[in-house]
Amino acid sequence: MPAKIQITEAYCVELEDIVSITEARRAFFSQPEPRARFTFQCSYSECMALNRRPSITAVNYASLPQDTYRAAHFRDPGVGHAPGCHWQGEEPAVSDQDLGGEATHKDREAKRKLHDFIDEFDPTAVKPKGGDGPSMNAGSEPAQGRGQGRSGVARGSSFSSRNRTSSFERLVEYYRNAHKDLPATEFFGLQLNVTGEGKMPLISYFPNISKATPESPNRVIHGGSRLEPRKGSGFMLWFIDRVDGKGVYLKVTNQEMDAYRFRGFFNSILAQEDADYFRVFGLGRLVLSDTGKSYRLEIEGLNHLTIFAAKKLQSKPEAQSLPRVESGV
């Protein structure tokens, strides 16, 4: 059965850039409060040339990503697109003649069930403009006079590469959704091509901290962690699980946080007082600390880190907006 193509990016009017839903969320939470919602339009160049650009609905991006919540995604009302808009098509049918045979076939079938999927992840690429996200000055002032909307259009025309990304957060979102929404057999069958390394099972690229090994090349190491009381703008998280009997921590210095334009995103997440623990996804490797008593998860930068507040038992309704702590419980 043909599946409609899922919108994986949209033009954000306020950010003046084409963004994925996770980039929109990071930018949204980096605004000072009260935070303004964004407006999204179809990123197809001919749709953007229309007087009335087709609008795209963004779901859940204005909610903090919780460990169990339904992930944010774009939804296309399907109204007013230019003829030939590539987002209006259907995913090509999966055929047995596809290169790679059975494994590829299973990989395709499973991915078609998701809002977004990724075939190739490039951990080395930097976004155009040398930035680390959509062009936005931490939301403190309206984007102006930068004239970067055009470069966004150019990016958006690369429709054929929509399932390749260098966005770490989008990769993590895809992994979490797939884990949650697909039966185990299909989830385990997912393949990921990592630029510079080649194809591997998605789960091999995402070792849980308990299975992480210090000799391993960079991987998305993830697991539950506890936050040390914060003193400055930086923070430190200790993983709950150990490696070789040693504790593992992740440290983000004050300087790193101060220099990061989306620090508001991390601050909002870490400020959730009702969290029982924080689930960390960091792309990097384990390095023995100077004392030799613990390991440090070394990541290249804050774009290779994402954090989710987690609760032990509770699963909240997904429709809720900003899950802010009001009761202090």
CA distance 186 to 217: 26
Strands (DSSP E) contained in the chain are 10-12, 17-19, 40-41, 55-59, 73-75, 120-121, 164-165, 191-194, 198-201, 219-227, 235-239, 247-252, 277-288, 294-299, 305-310
Grouping H, G, I as helix, E, B as strand and the rest as coil, residue 177 is helix
CA 224 to centroid of chain Cα atoms: 18
Q: Which is nearer to Zn ion, 44 or 74 (CB)?
A: 44
Q: CB of 86: closest distance to Zn ion in angstroms?
A: 8
Q: CB of 230: closest distance to Zn ion in angstroms?
A: 44
Q: CB of 147: closest distance to Zn ion in angstroms?
A: 23
* Type of residue numbered 114: L
Strand order of the sheet with strand 17-19? 17-19, 10-12, 40-41, 55-59, 73-75
Q: CB of 82: closest distance to Zn ion in angstroms?
A: 6
Residue 145 contacts by C-beta under 8 Å, 6 or more apart in sequence? none
CA distance 105 to 244: 38
Work out whether 7 is an interface residue with Zn ion (CB under 5 A): no
Q: CB of 88: closest distance to Zn ion in angstroms?
A: 6
CA distance 214 to 288: 8
Count of residues in contact with Zn ion, rule CB under 5 A: 5
Q: Which is nearer to Zn ion, 48 or 71 (CB)?
A: 48
Q: What part of residues 26-85 is at the interface with Zn ion (CB under 5 A)?
A: 42, 44, 47, 81, 85
Q: Which is nearer to Zn ion, 9 or 16 (CB)?
A: 9
Q: Which is nearer to Zn ion, 56 or 248 (CB)?
A: 56
Residue 2 contacts by C-beta under 8 Å, 6 or more apart in sequence? 90, 91, 93
Q: CB of 108: closest distance to Zn ion in angstroms?
A: 24
Q: Which is nearer to Zn ion, 40 or 44 (CB)?
A: 44
Q: What part of residues 84-113 is at the interface with Zn ion (CB under 5 A)?
A: 85
Token pair, residue 87, equals 């987002």
Q: Which is nearer to Zn ion, 25 or 81 (CB)?
A: 81
Q: Which residues bind Zn ion (CB under 5 A)?
A: 42, 44, 47, 81, 85
